[in-house]
Amino acid sequence: MTVKVQFLPHSITIEAQPGELILEVAQKAGVFIPTGCLMGSCHACEVELGEGNPVCSCIKVIPAGSDFLNIYVYSDPVW
Ligand code: FES
């Protein structure tokens, strides 16, 4: 099963596999997500899954169970 992932606000859509790191899927799609620690502690890489569910994209994988996922990438990180 593949998941259709749409990165916002870019509106770039790419097919991904459940279990793939969100950060890697973004890189494949050509979407830039700022990173720092790559360990889930600095939150530089934070994105929002669906409706306002912030996660660290360097440690969070594409969830199984739905075939479409919106990921909102902050265009103006405040940290
Ligand atoms: S890069 Fe630091 S939490 Fe992801």
Give the span between the Cα atoms of 79 and 69, in whole angstroms: 25
User: Would the CB of 69 count as within 6 Å of ligand 1?
Assistant: no
Strand partners for 73: 47
| Cα–Cα distance, 68 to 79 (Å, whole number) | 29
Q: Which of 2-6, 19-23, 38-42, 47-51 has the lowest mean pLDDT?
A: 47-51
User: What are the phi and psi torsion angles at 43 (to 5°)?
Assistant: 65, 15
pTM for this structure?
0.91
Q: Is 38 in the pocket of ligand 1 (CB under 6 A)?
A: yes
For the cut 60, the answer to whether the pLDDT of residue 70 exceeds it is yes
Ligand 1 close to Cβ of residue 43 (< 6 A) = yes
pLDDT band of 52, cuts 50, 70, 90: confident
